[in-house]
């Protein structure tokens, strides 16, 4: 299968490219490197022992996408990962988030139609689920646009666009994936998470504290109704997540379908920190901080549908993810910038 991978130099995209090649597929990457680094392309090639073609393309630009496909196609499938993803930033930059996330999805669905591509996978988010009382979330749990931030709203809008587009051609395969908190890195230590500026996610902050780059981890909320008082999240190893993308394009049926990808086993903030201390051998100091507006007590899903229909299940726990992330952190203390220097 020939697969066009947008955002293929990013955190999830790079790992997905590796898994595609390992499974015998051909991958072509479109990425404008606005939230990633060209170094990742070389690392993908080093891991796979091949040369994965790429084009520096902004996938909100329909003309550039069209030219890129005409040059590198044809394709059997599109995996659309390119998106802005920082929840806090989306609140202060809503227009940019809607333009990028919704706009790029419109462009890539148009490319699917215009170039006769049979499969489109949208890499979405579990934050489209709206009601805590539905936990653990399943694919039929309630979703909506009454969401607390433009990032989640933009992803939910994309799902509705896909639903409408799917009705125009029942033979097309349109797939939406929903997941929460990717962590970990490739076990080679060559590719991993490389946030620009101050990290928004917990794992890169913990790793930088363990490495002595940051002084402490702020624990936002110690008064939740959980075993240790901290919030629960479904942390999924990024390699498991990449394999979920692969399983979806290989096994999904014609029509529109959504799948949760997760472990089904939520972990608390303190549990993740303890696992990272064990993996790194370092002490990770913490400081208590107030709950952040909009933070949920728990977010996790059941991945049973993905197991039944795609033959996929997460294999790695947080202990493995922490070991792999620490290897990435040690070898790349400044992310891909370590190689650019």
What confidence category does residue 144 fall into, taking pLDDT thresholds of 50, 70 and 90? confident
Using one digit for the tens of pLDDT, what is the confidence trace for 212-239? 999 999 999 999 999 999 999 999 999 9
Q: Is the peptide bond before 136 cis (omega within 30 degrees of 0)?
A: yes
Using one digit for the tens of pLDDT, what is the confidence trace for 253-265? 999 999 999 999 9
Work out the percent of the chain whose per-residue pLDDT is above 90: 91
Q: By C-alpha distance, which of 203, 181, 199 is closest to 328?
A: 203
Burial, 138: exposed, middle or buried (Cβ in 10 Å; 0-12, 13-18, 19+)? middle
Contact by Cβ (8 Å): 217, 273: yes
Is the model's pLDDT at 185 over the cut of 90? Answer: yes
Q: By C-alpha distance, which of 117, 144, 142, 122 is closest to 132?
A: 142
Output the pLDDT for position 341.
Answer: 53
Output the pLDDT for position 188.
Answer: 98
Q: Has 151 been annotated as catalytic?
A: yes
pLDDT, the chain, mean: 96
Domains for the chain: give ranges and CATH numbers.
2-185+235-264+300-315 (3.40.50.720)
Is the model's pLDDT at 198 over the cut of 80? Answer: no
Contact by Cβ (8 Å): 240, 318: no
Catalytic residue, candidates 11, 151, 179, 336: 151
Is the model's pLDDT at 340 over the cut of 70? Answer: no
Q: By C-alpha distance, which of 85, 323, 45 is closest to 189?
A: 323
Using one digit for the tens of pLDDT, what is the confidence trace for 38-75? 999 999 999 999 999 999 999 999 999 999 999 999 99
Is the model's pLDDT at 268 over the cut of 90? Answer: yes
> What's the predicted TM-score (pTM) here?
0.97
């Amino acid at each position: 299968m020939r697969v066009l991978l947008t955002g293929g130099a990013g955190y999830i995209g790079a790992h997905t490219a590796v898994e595609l090649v390992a499974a015998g597929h051909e991958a072509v990457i479109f990425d404008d490197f606005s939230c990633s680094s060209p170094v990742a392309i070389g690392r993908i090639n080093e891991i796979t022992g091949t040369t994965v073609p790429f084009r520096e393309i902004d996938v909100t630009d329909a003309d550039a996408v069209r030219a890129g496909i005409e040059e590198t196609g044809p394709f059997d499938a599109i995996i659309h990962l390119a998106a802005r993803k920082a929840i806090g930033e989306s609140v202060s930059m809503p227009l940019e988030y809607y333009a990028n996330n919704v706009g790029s999805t419109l462009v890539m669905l148009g490319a699917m139609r215009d170039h006769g591509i049979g499969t489109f996978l949208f890499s979405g988010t579990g934050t489209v689920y709206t009601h805590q009382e539905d936990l653990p979330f399943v694919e039929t749990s309630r979703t909506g646009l009454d969401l607390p931030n433009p990032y989640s709203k933009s992803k939910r809008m994309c799902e509705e666009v896909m639903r409408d587009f799917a009705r125009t051609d029942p033979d097309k395969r349109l797939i939406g994936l929903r997941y929460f908190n990717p962590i970990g890195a490739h076990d080679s230590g060559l590719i991993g998470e490389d946030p620009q500026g101050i990290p928004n996610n917990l794992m890169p902050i913990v790793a930088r504290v363990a490495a002595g780059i940051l002084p402490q981890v702020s624990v936002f909320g110690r008064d939740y109704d959980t075993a240790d008082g901290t919030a629960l999240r479904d942390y999924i190893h990024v390699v498991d997540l990449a394999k979920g993308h692969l399983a979806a394009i290989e096994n999904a049926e014609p029509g529109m379908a959504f799948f949760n990808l997760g472990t089904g086993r939520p972990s608390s903030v303190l549990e993740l920190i303890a696992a990272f201390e064990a993996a790194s051998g370092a002490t990770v100091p913490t400081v208590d901080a107030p709950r952040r507006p909009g933070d949920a007590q728990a977010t996790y899903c059941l991945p049973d549908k993905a197991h039944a229909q795609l033959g996929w299940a997460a294999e790695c726990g947080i202990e493995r993810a922490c070991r792999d992330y620490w290897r990435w952190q040690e070898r790349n203390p400044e992310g891909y910038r370590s190689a650019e220097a």
